[in-house]
Structure 1
Amino acid sequence: MESESSEPTRIMVAVNESSVKGYPHPSISSRTAFEWTLAKLVRSNAAGFHLLFLHVQVPDEDAFEDMDSIYASPEDFHNIKERDRIRGLHLLEYFFGRTHQYGISCEAWIRSGDPKEVICNEVKRVRPDLLVVGSRGLGPFQRVFVGTVSEFCVKHAECPVITIKRKPDEIPQDPVDD
């Protein structure tokens, strides 16, 4: 049995924005994974855990859908990067605020790139005790087109991985949405 002065369990939670227009910032999968972590792992032992929130921003290929990208200026690129950064900070603010309500220590950061690769690289760099990721619970047909971050992380992350599926009553009409 470890002493009470032992280090807290470090849990990395990968979080992302909702793809459902008009939906509050966190995706259903992220919020479900976070709530599960609080309810089933942390419970009333706030001091025993340290949460690490990682948000991976996917470079936005559709950023110029409202303008002709041939004429995009450096200012346009800067404005898009700034908009994405602000949205990422708002997303992390949601999780940060909820975590502090429970008195749990945490830290959060944003990276950019392919979520599968970035999450596994960050696990290697930060070395959490556990990674928690949300899963949309897509069937084999949908997975072919979407690819799943959670399955990749289970295979490649250098720590135990828990994937949390969305609750059946929270699945949008198109399960690919989140």
Structure 2
Amino acid sequence: MHTMNVILVAVDGSEEADYAFETALPIAKSQGSQLIVTQVINRNAYRPLSNYDSSLIGEVENKARLLLDKYKKQAEEFGITDVVTDIEYGSPKTAITRDIVPKYNVDLIVTGATGLNAVEKIFLGSVSEHITKNADCSVMVVRL
């Protein structure tokens, strides 16, 4: 059986992302894997609003840090010793497959089937669909 040395969970604060994270925990623990928990912040999505409130991006970053810290603590309490949190910027679709996967030499991506960005899904297709088609590693898409 192929060992999954590095498992990536992409989160966005959605219930599906929580479920993806919870699904990844026993896999990472049983494999002795490094667990990477990442959130990709799409600054372009906030750009029109940031003209009115310049602190908006900072608030989004702080919220992401708090969320990732929560996930890291949960993973460590579950018994996973090697947990890395990572905030990236850009389109989640491309950042995950083009930047994050090679950065950490990821063996498995665990992601929710849907997330918070319904508008992007309508016009551009889902993030999970893009990851499945473009990732150079195995992908597990979980549903609630």
Range of TM-score over shorter length:
0.7 to 0.9
Question: In the alignment, which of 17, 20, 24 is matched to residue 37 of structure 1?
Answer: 24
Which of the pair is proportionally richer in helix?
Answer: 2
1:52-131 alignment, distance < 5 Å? 52-59=36-43, 60-61=46-47, 63-64=49-50, 69=51, 76-77=53-54, 79-104=55-80, 105-121=82-98, 122-131=100-109
Structure 2: runs of 5 or more not aligned: none
List 4+ stretches of structure 1 deviating above 4 A: none
CA distance in structure 1 between the aligned counterparts of 2:60 and 2:25, rounded to whole angstroms: 28
User: Scaled by the length of structure 2, what TM-score is found?
Assistant: 0.81
Aligned length: 136
CA distance in structure 2 between the aligned counterparts of 1:125 and 1:42, rounded to whole angstroms: 18
User: Scaled by the length of structure 1, what TM-score is found?
Assistant: 0.67
Structure 1: runs of 5 or more not aligned: 18-26, 167-178
Does the aligned pair in 1 maintain the 2:8–2:106 contact within 8 Å?
A: yes
Does the aligned pair in 2 maintain the 1:124–1:157 contact within 8 Å?
A: no
CA distance in structure 1 between the aligned counterparts of 2:4 and 2:138, rounded to whole angstroms: 16
The one-letter code sitting in structure 1 at the alignment partner of 2:15 is: I
CA distance in structure 1 between the aligned counterparts of 2:37 and 2:28, rounded to whole angstroms: 15
Could you tell me the percent identity over the aligned residues? 28
Distance 1:159 1:136, change over 3 A: same
Q: Once the 2 structures are TM-superposed, how far is the Cα of residue 97 of structure 1 from its aligned partner?
A: 1.1
1:16 counterpart residue number = 12
Rg larger for: 1
CA distance in structure 2 between the aligned counterparts of 1:53 and 1:37, rounded to whole angstroms: 10
Q: Once the 2 structures are TM-superposed, how far is the Cα of residue 165 of structure 1 from its aligned partner?
A: 1.1
Cα shift readout 1:12-69 (whole Å, capped 9, x = no counterpart): 111112xxxxxxxxx1111011111224x246x37x12100110012214534xxxx3
Does the aligned pair in 1 maintain the 2:17–2:111 contact within 8 Å?
A: yes
Q: Does 1:51 align with 2:28?
A: no
Does the aligned pair in 2 maintain the 1:10–1:51 contact within 8 Å?
A: yes
Q: Once the 2 structures are TM-superposed, how far is the Cα of residue 158 of structure 1 from its aligned partner?
A: 1.1
Distance 1:28 1:146, change over 3 A: farther
CA distance in structure 2 between the aligned counterparts of 1:63 and 1:103, rounded to whole angstroms: 40
